[in-house]
Amino acid sequence: MQRVLGVRRVPMEIAFAIILLVSFWLPRFYLSHKIPLDASLFAPASLLNLVLFDLVVLGYFMLPWLVLSLAWPSSRKKNYSIFLVYIAFAIFLAFFTSISEFFFIDEFLSRYNFIAIDYLVYTSEVLRNIWESFPIVPIIAVLISLCATLAWSLTRLRERLSNPLKIVLLLLYACLFVFVNEDRQLNAADESQKEFSKNGFHALFAAFRNNQIDFERFSTTLQ
């Protein structure tokens, strides 16, 4: 059946990227039920920012794989376990972060920002609160099972990108890391556009780098 549908002809790297992109979009779908949807969210500039942020984060996950696959072909049995572990870990991290962002959106109606960095400082208190508030064990168990299944399925795909194409991708990702900046890209966007365009991973890294937050938006003030 897989041969009939052409599934095995999909390059492993492309299938991996698609799975990661699905995880990136989950918080956006959830956020779309929390903020007013209007045409501005789908304006060319907003969509371009969205694509750029997703590509940068996709690069975070793809770069180690591309480097590993250039150094150690996954077709060799001794390297199979390395790729399997990395793929499973990457998929788990992507989906875990995206699902965790649902709770952040519920509380702050925002993608990850510097408040999330503050939470990491008080890790024990936050983890205890999460453990008491949500069924963590079933969620983690289902997520691990899903990620292990997806990782095993990916390693069964026989098609691979050529080495020259992998090198081109490495160069393109390097350019994206240099030129894509969240503050510059979102400078002219309104709040809804900003939150919809952001990628949770990229927003978290930007918050850590900038070390600041919109005080008026996220703090209660006396009138």
- What is the pLDDT averaged over residues 151-172? 87
Residue 4 is predicted with a pLDDT of: 39
Q: Which residue has the higher pLDDT, 221 or 185?
A: 185
Average pLDDT, the chain: 80
* Highest mean pLDDT pick, 21-25, 97-101, 149-153, 214-218: 21-25
Q: What is the structure's pLDDT at 112?
A: 87
For residue 137, is pLDDT > 80?
Answer: yes
Reference 62, options 13, 26, 97, 10; nearest CA is 13
Check residue 22 and give its pLDDT.
95
Whole-prediction pTM: 0.83
Q: Which pLDDT band holds residue 26 (cuts at 50, 70, 90)? A: very high
The string of pLDDT tens digits covering residues 46-100 is 888 899 999 999 999 999 888 888 877 655 566 677 778 888 999 999 998 898 8
pLDDT over 70 at 6, yes or no: no
| Band (172; pLDDT cuts 50, 70, 90) | very high
Predicted pLDDT of residue 191: 79
